[in-house]
Structure 1
Amino acid sequence: MRNFINFQTDLLRAFVSVIDLGAYTKAGDALGRTQPAISLQIRRLEELVGAPVIKQVGRSLTLTSEGEMLLSYAREMLRLNDEAASYFNRSKIAGVLRIGLPNDYAVAFLQGVITEYTSQHPGISLEIHCGWSADILDRLRADELDLAVAMVNNERSQYLSRSWIERPIWAAAEAARFDLGTGVPLAAHPEGCAYRARMIQSLDAAQIRWRVAYTGSGIAGLQNAVVNGLGVSALTRYTMLPGMRVLDDSDGFPALAEIRVGLFYKHPRLSDAGIRLVNHIVARLDEAGVSGDPVRRPIELDRQ
């Protein structure tokens, strides 16, 4: 007879809380337990895994390779557990949710998904904060946001729940024509933008001259610059507008490198309304065929 290993949700919740809150004592405070009790739960979880999931390096805590893998499963198992609990506890969902979105998503697919959710739950108020991904993640880390969508890079994957790939596309006005021999006018966000970097890298690799003809931090201004023929830009399929066309290799434009985008949140900090919103976003991503696996990177924590 097969021996089943059951991962208790209380152990997984303690594990995710330590990771998301950055310390054993903070996890204990959030869960109403002492630091030794949280440590015991982590040891019990490691017994089930059959290997350490967190190791101490100097004064810092680091996830082991097994811990990185477990974190992905744990987030998903807790999300489904809390979704089921929320379904059978049909109390009115209300409150304020603070959401961070990068500039390119502020008027696109995910804003529609989020506002759709609030229309179904009129007791929820939204505070949407738009900005650069690094700033958004800093605000999430400081508990100024409940959840965030941001670009994923190699260094900042803490709090990552889901990620998916976006392939930027070259966008130009329908009637615009460009002579690659004289240089490409670009409409771009300021330096530091992942889309701007990919345009420049792509053109430099193809030895195509370029110049920045328009720069601005807002997506609306960038879209207007493209529609009015001021320059070409890297957009997503969700931010293409009527009056634009896609440029590709037949136009002499090289492909742009992909961008990984992620959904970030601190599970122990989320209210029932926040958990339901996360489930709503994940469901819509699955329906759209854009959801994927989290990028697993080492995360350093402080033991407190």
Structure 2
Amino acid sequence: MPGITNLPTDLLRTFIAVVELGGHSRAGAFLGRSQPAISLQIRRLEELVRVPLLAQEGRSIQPTPAGEALLSYAREMIRINDEAVGYFHRSDKTGVLRIGLPTDYAVAFLQSAITAFVQAHAEVELEIHCDLSRQLHQDLRADELDVIIAMMSNARMPYLSRAWIEQPIWAAAEGFHDTPKRPVPLGAHPEGCDYRARMIQALDSIERRWRIVYTGPGISGLQNAVLNGLCVSALTKATMLPGMRVLDNTDGFPALEPLRVGLFYKHPRLSAAGLQLVSDLVARLDSVGAGINPFPG
């Protein structure tokens, strides 16, 4: 159609590689092209979109604001392209795939998608690592994980594919009775957990005393501590269990600040199996729908 500008996938793939791998030389080595060839492709892409996409900051190359906007679209376009090619070529999906999930709700939120993937691709060895979100981000940057679900400290973060809002809720045993004159007994994950920080922030805002009575890295231990009436904690709807009830303002517990959560991966580093899992997770998120922002920002 006259007047329509097409963005070639090879140019978009090069742009993603330059940003995510940290420069023209690394992108060229990964894609099997010379540095001048990579630079030429970036210039061609900038001509098509009519704005500068990259800027030199010290010794590193960073995307411009326009580059950040294009990166979100480029990652989605390349993901869909590779998903389509994989469907028709029936690419072999083998190898080890390392997934990072936050301790806060571990496998519960996306368990069905991951379980379905394992059943459909028995030849793929899946490793699931549960940790605090900040550690998962570090592991992804260090290429120690392939795909992560993690809390976001900023609206825009590297390697982001999908973002959505998670609303933590106060959880207590059905028989729990609060005593306003006593400090609130809190159960939490170790220092650095976003849910822990939000509980403390909420109680401090109403000048309510609190004390940590249970600390543990796993979600099951925290759930048991709540069920046994030892403490109250911040959970999600996915991790609420029978025998628990929600505490709110009528109980003297102010609403907790929502959390932004994201799906992250380095596209150039991802195998065919990884790309398939990302597509499965994206489909799962899109089916849930609420609060999901496909393009960050």
TM-score normalised by the chain length of structure 2 = 0.95
**1:276 matched residue in structure 2:** 276
Counterpart position of 1:302: none
- The Cα of 1:288 is off from its aligned counterpart by 1.1
Q: Distance in 1 between matches of 2:32 and 2:180?
A: 63
The one-letter code of the counterpart of 2:293 is G
Work out the CA distance in 1 between the residues paired with 2:274 and 2:5.
30
AA at the equivalent of 2:146: D
Matched to 1:286, the amino acid is D
Give the letter for the 1:292 counterpart: N
Partner of 1:51: 51
Cross-structure match for 1:66: 66
The equivalent of 1:232 in structure 2 is: 232
CA RMSD across the alignment: 1.5
Deviations 1:182-239 (Å, cap 9, x if unpaired)?
A: 2211111121110000000011112222111111111111111100001110011111
Give the residue type in structure 2 aligned to 1:25.
S
Q: How big is each residue's C-alpha offset from its partner over 1:41-60, in whole Å with a ceiling of 9 and x where there is no partner? A: 11111111111011113322
Deviates most, 112-121 or 197-206? 112-121
Greater Cα shift, 279-288 or 239-248: 239-248
Q: Which moved more, 1:47-56 or 1:90-99?
A: 90-99
Task: Pick closer, same or farther for the CA change 1:102–1:281 going to 2, 3 Å.
Answer: same
User: What percentage of aligned pairs have identical amino acids?
Assistant: 62
Q: Please name the residue that 1:211 is paired with.
A: 211
Supply the AA of the counterpart residue of 1:217.
P
Bigger shift: residues 179-188 or 195-204: 179-188
**Counterpart position of 2:165:** 165
Mark the runs of 5 or more structure 2 residues left unpaired by the alignment.
Answer: none
Is 1:7 the counterpart of 2:7? The answer is yes
- Equivalence for 1:37: 37
Q: CA deviation at 1:61?
A: 1.7
- Give, in angstroms, the shift of residue 37 of structure 1: 0.9
Q: Which secondary structure state, in structure 2, belongs to the residue aligned with residue 122 of structure 1? A: coil
- What letter corresponds to residue 211 of structure 2 in structure 1? R
Q: TM-score scaled to structure 1, two decimals? A: 0.93
What residue in structure 2 maps to residue 128 of structure 1? Answer: 128
Counterpart for residue 199 of structure 1: 199
Give the Cα separation in 2 of the matches to 1:53 and 1:89: 32
Once the two structures are overlaid, the 10-residue window that deviates more, 6-15 or 149-158, is 149-158
1:83-232 paired onto structure 2 within 5 Å: 83-154=83-154, 157-232=157-232
Runs of 4 or more, structure 1, over 3 Å off, are 293-296
Indicate the SS of the match to 1:212. strand
**What CA distance in whole angstroms lies between the structure 2 residues aligned with 1:180 and 1:107?**
35
**Match of 1:299?**
none
Q: By how many angstroms is 1:284 displaced? A: 0.4
- Separation (CA, whole Å) in 1 of partners of 2:118 and 2:149: 17
C-alpha distance in structure 2 between counterparts of 1:191 and 1:295, whole Å: 27
Change (3 A) 1:73 1:110: same
Deviation at 1:155, TM superposition (A): 9.0
CA distance in 2, matches of 1:101, 1:91: 26
Q: CA deviation at 1:92?
A: 3.6
Partners of 1:112 and 1:104 lie apart in 2 by 17
2:172 touches 2:226 (CA, 8 Å); kept in 1?
yes
